[in-house]
Amino acid sequence: MIFLVEAAEALPGALAGCADLVTIALPWGSLLRGLLAADAALIARITAVLKPRGEIELLLSTTPADGLPVQLRDARDARELACSLESAGLCVRECRPATADDVARLSSSWGRRLRIPERRTGWIFRLGNESGVSGVTAPTTEEVLESGVLVTP
């Protein structure tokens, strides 16, 4: 396991194609804005780090007080973001509200200070880049979101 703190703009570099899992927990600044906008260039840099069938696990939380153009107030907002991420080339494997266990597993003390999910809603997105994997038909975003369960090909 490698723990890396790096600007997304600097990826992939020597890390191209080496990660089974990229975890992004409670991003802020340009990374958060880029993810919420499903910025294709940013997503391409992040996914370039993944091995085939690798995965991105993302913990996001926004409120109107954050002053961001995209809000994650409810399941509808999360579904819209999931569809945007899929349009940017990702396969949505899971999209659901974050639990206290998720926050404990994924985040720093910042997540605990935000008191997700007691006082603030957080969302877990599990995303993959299925391009280059032959013979695999990934579920559609709608299938994942309707099932409410993790679906993997």
Residue 38, pLDDT score: 95
Taken in order of first residue, the domains within the chain and their CATH numbers are 16-147 (3.40.50.150)
pLDDT of residue 107: 72
Q: Exposure pattern of 102-119 as b/e (b: 16+ CB <10 Å)?
A: bbeebbeeebeebebbee
What pLDDT sits at residue 92? Answer: 95
Structure tokens at 50: 């993944």
Instruction: pLDDT tens for the chain, 153 residues: list them.
Output: 666 677 777 787 777 888 899 999 999 899 999 999 999 999 999 999 999 889 999 999 998 888 898 899 999 999 999 999 999 999 999 999 999 999 999 877 788 888 999 999 999 999 998 653 333 334 444 544 454 443 333
- What pLDDT was estimated at residue 2? 66
